Structure 1
């Protein structure tokens, strides 16, 4: 049971959420009555590198909770802060102890600033971005139209039959297997995507290349003719927009292909203008390649000419596709974490800022996400990237919590490049610890725009990595946690794969025997619930329980909250105080076996009070959770609102006038 004082970046606790420099933001802390006697609360912020303390004012309590409020001045572009609580000792009311509350949780010892809450002034993603449900398409394997039949294939392509040629997960032929999916095929299946409840189509690269993945672009100036060319791209986006779908592309700012026109002009020609676009040897015959892959020469962003041609010019690669007649709605940046980084060069944030500002000028409503596969938060501090495609705060711990035991004859799943094959199995408390460790460093605005993926085109499939029945549990969590749910094509059919390449299976449109689990109704229902329950799109998150086989948390919003419970094995008799839960749960959705949430004790429910929680007998009432597993369930709860009237009589202190003790007062 988690009874910590709570704060997050949602509108319940931060007002306004998108401040400007020197604005003062109202921030609030909520303390459960059963936590202990809190005698004082201070807001600790870091101003120009130095700690600063502001006394918080106690508001009236509501529904078993006590609220505190303080003012946070935006002295710096990214303002770090955490809470300092003075608490009466349990064994001696006259003695005081203290607690820190940060984005990682609560601590009775001093902690570094790394997990402080953060608010930035860069501005959030456009409103539509965090409200999205994203559907990812690997074009060669999604759908093949009749127009694909007459296309002449290049020498590198190995023709494959859609339903019968096995995908090669690893080997020299892997990048050259060609199944012939095209953009007309995508357009013909848009209604399938709409029916799943997705609102954004994310296409992996569409530019000409010498591989099926197309991350080795030979030009950024036109769409691959094998996909149907520019005309097919324009037609697809028009058809998507007509259905209310946005479309984003995949842009490689870290490298091009070795067949790219810029690279070919410069290779062996030091005098060529494009020579400075890459990291060449003196005679331009040797070069730096991404991770040593010779077909992927790395860009040198010290080049001002490259910056103009790729980002700044009116017809630059990043800009032209956002304008008519193409009208792309944004980009996912491939290898965003390595862009601009090479040895002593670290231009990453400079290039991110340049790209964000240019997109703002050209198309303010454009989406801009960046891939960062490891500890992503440091690169997202300044808010230049709107959100992250990352795995550390959700995907990896999810796989570990739901890990399938090794089986004789079954190939271990590739676990994100680790030398050990297959994930370690962890407990729910380790899932939460990992999630918080890697999520704490994001601002709330970025966290809402991060992708929640159970798998992608670069990973094995969740259905292969997890216990039987684990994938639907993971799907519920990806829709219930803050962030954008990402559905990789084929997830809705339960497709499997032991690594990223093996997961790029052609869609089983005409072969029902390849459908391993029909999860289309699940995705459609979760997308519907996300649209109709504001808590799932913009509400805060408060964890209730994370032990062993069970996870439970609440997404909180004034218009109504949602309780999420997930289990990997049967459990019973898990009792949580009614005030902690926030009201009497009412069923919304269930996958797997069964999960019940029953109110017991404290008299019959008498509805909701003004603060949103059931009031009758709440002091003694509990919510009892029981269920089988793997299972997951969502329940509706009353909304939460902070007290806006009846504040204590004490005037709000001026910033810095009420330090807890002289040690905190400063010089």
Structure 2
């Protein structure tokens, strides 16, 4: 008996995935003849509407001796989410077709269950063209490269770590606080010095963690948005970085930290570093309206309860003008040469603020890129009691794709390939096509454990910082981890989206959580094998157009093996990933028997031999 409905197969639903406004969707269900169905209904509910709308299916013949075909169509006309399911009037009573976890297999049940999702996005929504086919590289500025240029600094309230290869300071100070005030002096000129290296990796975009003046090494406690932190250099150094990067076809995007500032800032000024002004010290301050004081000055809303990070009221007209105005911070750095913004904690920013930011960014440069930090499925994310509108065409171009990250790493750690593929397919089904092509696909970030540690290390399981500081991969763990990491990176580079390498992952860096995932790049101690692997993957993305915006076909997913095809009008690539500890022999899809294996596996007599803990790719080019 065929499944009643599968939203991911064109036979049942066309077109597949998220749709533009006013797109007609054709639906087909298969119903057992034994039910003697008199009527079949499509049940649709627009997000947050109370009422379901019912549309009758038409009987369309038989699939086989035991199965009937019913068909109908539906056209969503409002941007947002629609939920849909199927109701059958049968000789056995009312029945429902419902999706079953975890592999999207539908069944017929006597009661309604979960619904399927349709994402409907704004007509004409497009995303920037330049990220397509490229590679992003994330840099934590203090830890990537020190130019050797000493700065003339006024501040003395920090510690300089002279040993580039040492661990960041991780123990609390005498007051029991983690101040993040140790610096390795990485700077913007240091990044400029390494642009040739990044170009060799195939990098087309650098995402910089915050560079504005701040008093911690992570710089998420903004002290002054309006200029570069003196430890990193000057505004001119940033302009020079953008100019030199542009010569190599590399774009720069900045980290926008707009949900809070530092308490030690020109805007709040709790510690008095900036004289007598600031919202904490003066109710007449021009910045007073930015903050929510429950009882001035000491009782104020702060980010996750950290008193050093007072929250801003993003809908404050004064704050919005300062950030998004004609001469605001967003446009200032774009005029310096950047190509867009990554928005920190995007799910904590109001819709109104993100929409204002998008208007500002796109007016300055329609091809600028806006990517938001969202850890879950961003198409149906809820925060602050409302469904978010991130991907509907009026806010973000992309999000940090932690969903793919988790799927890839879980597969590497033993998860059944079917579950991994199900997660991948859910994103491809739910996200608008313009977003899919530029999804920011990371394996590690400054907020996660390093991918190599996740793959090969002992699980953290809540252990303390001392354990994290003292625990490293054994030689055996590292050797095994690098093999599996290469498979993970190959998936990262070939799935829909824009792969983002967290600095040093390509060199074999390891580390548990902050600050151990933020060590300095190991210049002179890199893992050459991994670097060459990333160069090869970068070249693959440049040369294979199927990876730019090609269709995705789920070919095979079971236990420790996963396969898919990407294709467009010019090329196709078959990707197979084997995480068994033994080699496998597979039958490539039709048409691939004469292709040359990219990574040197044996292909003969129509059989592809893929080694243990490895992957292979076969490429076809069309005339």
- Say if 1:7 and 1:431 are closer, same or farther in 2 by CA, change over 3 A: closer
State the alpha-carbon separation in 1 of the partners of residues 18 and 545 from structure 2: 16
* TM-score normalised per structure 1: 0.72
Matched, 1:309 2:308: no
Matched, 1:280 2:297: no
CA contact (8 A) 2:135 2:205 kept: yes
- Say if 1:290 and 1:208 are closer, same or farther in 2 by CA, change over 3 A: same
Partner residue in 2 for 1:373: 375
State the alpha-carbon separation in 2 of the partners of residues 28 and 639 from structure 1: 32
CA contact (8 A) 1:83 1:101 kept: no
- Say if 1:427 and 1:72 are closer, same or farther in 2 by CA, change over 3 A: same
CA contact (8 A) 2:134 2:202 kept: no
| Bigger mean CA deviation after superposition, 259-268 or 70-79 | 70-79
Matched, 1:551 2:562: yes
* TM-score normalised per structure 2: 0.77
Shift of 1:116: 3.1
Matched, 1:318 2:335: no
Shift of 1:458: 1.6
Shift of 1:430: 2.6
Unaligned runs of 5+ in 1: 32-40, 59-67, 87-95, 340-347, 404-424, 601-623, 641-667
Shift of 1:559: 1.9
SS in 2 for 1:554: strand
Partner residue in 2 for 1:154: 155
- Say if 1:42 and 1:26 are closer, same or farther in 2 by CA, change over 3 A: same
Residues 185-218 of structure 1 show CA distances to partners (whole Å, capped at 9, x for unaligned) of: 1111111111100100111111011011111111
State the alpha-carbon separation in 1 of the partners of residues 59 and 23 from structure 2: 15
| Bigger mean CA deviation after superposition, 326-335 or 274-283 | 274-283
| Bigger mean CA deviation after superposition, 98-107 or 497-506 | 98-107
State the alpha-carbon separation in 2 of the partners of residues 389 and 126 from structure 1: 16
CA contact (8 A) 2:100 2:107 kept: no
Shift of 1:566: 1.1
SS in 2 for 1:376: coil
- The structure 1 residue matched to 2:242, chosen from 237, 250, 269, is 237
Shift of 1:162: 4.2
Shift of 1:184: 0.8
Shift of 1:6: 7.5
Shift of 1:239: 0.7
- Say if 1:57 and 1:429 are closer, same or farther in 2 by CA, change over 3 A: same
SS in 1 for 2:499: strand
CA contact (8 A) 1:104 1:115 kept: no
Shift of 1:275: 1.8
Matched, 1:394 2:404: yes
More relative contact order, 1 or 2 (CA 8 Å, 6+ apart): 1
Residues 244-277 of structure 1 show CA distances to partners (whole Å, capped at 9, x for unaligned) of: 1111000101111112212121114334332221
Matched, 1:455 2:449: no
CA contact (8 A) 1:381 1:442 kept: yes
CA contact (8 A) 1:129 1:449 kept: yes
- Say if 1:174 and 1:453 are closer, same or farther in 2 by CA, change over 3 A: farther
- Say if 1:555 and 1:13 are closer, same or farther in 2 by CA, change over 3 A: farther
Partner residue in 1 for 2:355: 353
CA contact (8 A) 1:456 1:500 kept: no
- The structure 2 residue matched to 1:76, chosen from 71, 75, 78, is 78
| Bigger mean CA deviation after superposition, 480-489 or 558-567 | 558-567
- The structure 2 residue matched to 1:190, chosen from 161, 174, 195, is 195
SS in 2 for 1:273: coil
Partner residue in 2 for 1:165: 166
CA contact (8 A) 1:55 1:70 kept: yes
| Bigger mean CA deviation after superposition, 279-288 or 110-119 | 110-119
Matched pairs, number: 544
CA contact (8 A) 1:119 1:444 kept: no
RMSD: 3.9
- The structure 1 residue matched to 2:396, chosen from 385, 389, 404, is 385
Shift of 1:507: 1.8
Shift of 1:595: 5.3
SS in 2 for 1:633: strand
State the alpha-carbon separation in 2 of the partners of residues 349 and 201 from structure 1: 26
- Say if 1:132 and 1:572 are closer, same or farther in 2 by CA, change over 3 A: closer
Partner residue in 2 for 1:523: 534
Matched, 1:568 2:579: yes
Matched, 1:635 2:618: yes
- Say if 1:119 and 1:570 are closer, same or farther in 2 by CA, change over 3 A: farther
CA contact (8 A) 1:81 1:118 kept: no
CA contact (8 A) 2:160 2:182 kept: yes
Matched, 1:491 2:518: no
State the alpha-carbon separation in 2 of the partners of residues 395 and 371 from structure 1: 13
CA contact (8 A) 2:503 2:521 kept: yes
CA contact (8 A) 1:102 1:116 kept: no
